[in-house]
Structure 1
């Protein structure tokens, strides 16, 4: 199995309103997010790629236009905007356009990652 990954970055705010008010994440706060998409294939295409990295440009555009410097609760229309939920959201968006998508990881900090891999 061949596997490639590409990383994307954006900054945004969110609020986890279902948490107790004294929890730090219940307050409005922001992160510098890192999104890593993974694509896999058993064979390479005629150019020797799983997928040309340039073909992931629509994901960069989607992230930049829809998520960067936005309030994620408003973007996604709910109050449970966790790294886990974002990983699934980006996975589903990618899978619909890039069938080789096998996983998406989202980081809110340099030490934490959430991954969605069906």
Structure 2
């Protein structure tokens, strides 16, 4: 199986208001997010690629236009915008457009990652 990944960055705020008031994530706060999209294929196309990296440009535009420097609770209309939730959201968005999508990872901090892989 061939696998490729591409990394994207954005900064945004969110809040998890359902958590106890003394939980740091219950307060409005922000992160410098990293999104890593993985594509997999048993074979390569005629150009020797799983998929040309340039074909991931629509994801960069989507992230830049809809997520960068935004409040994620408002963007997604959801109160539980966690890294896990974002990983699934970006996986679903990519899978509709890039059938080779096999996983998405999202990081809020340099030491924490969430992954959605069906």
Q: TM-score, normalised by structure 1?
A: 1.00
Could you tell me which residue of structure 2 aligns to residue 21 of structure 1?
Answer: 21
Residues 2-13 of structure 1 correspond to what in structure 2 (within 5 A)?
2-13=2-13
> 2:20 & 2:40 partners in 1: Cα distance?
40
> 1:78 & 1:86 partners in 2: Cα distance?
11
Could you tell me which residue of structure 2 aligns to residue 114 of structure 1?
Answer: 114
1:69 aligns with 2:65: no
Could you tell me which residue of structure 2 aligns to residue 59 of structure 1?
Answer: 59
| Structural RMSD (CA) | 0.2
How many residues align? The count is 118
Q: Which runs of 5+ in 2 are unaligned?
A: none
Could you tell me which residue of structure 2 aligns to residue 35 of structure 1?
Answer: 35
Structure 1 residues 41-83: Cα deviation after superposition (integer angstroms, max 9, x where no partner): 0000000000000000000000000000000000000100000
Q: Which runs of 5+ in 1 are unaligned?
A: none
Give the ranges of 4+ consecutive aligned residues of structure 1 lying more than 2 Å apart after TM superposition: none
> 1:112 & 1:6 partners in 2: Cα distance?
18
Could you tell me which residue of structure 1 aligns to residue 105 of structure 2?
Answer: 105
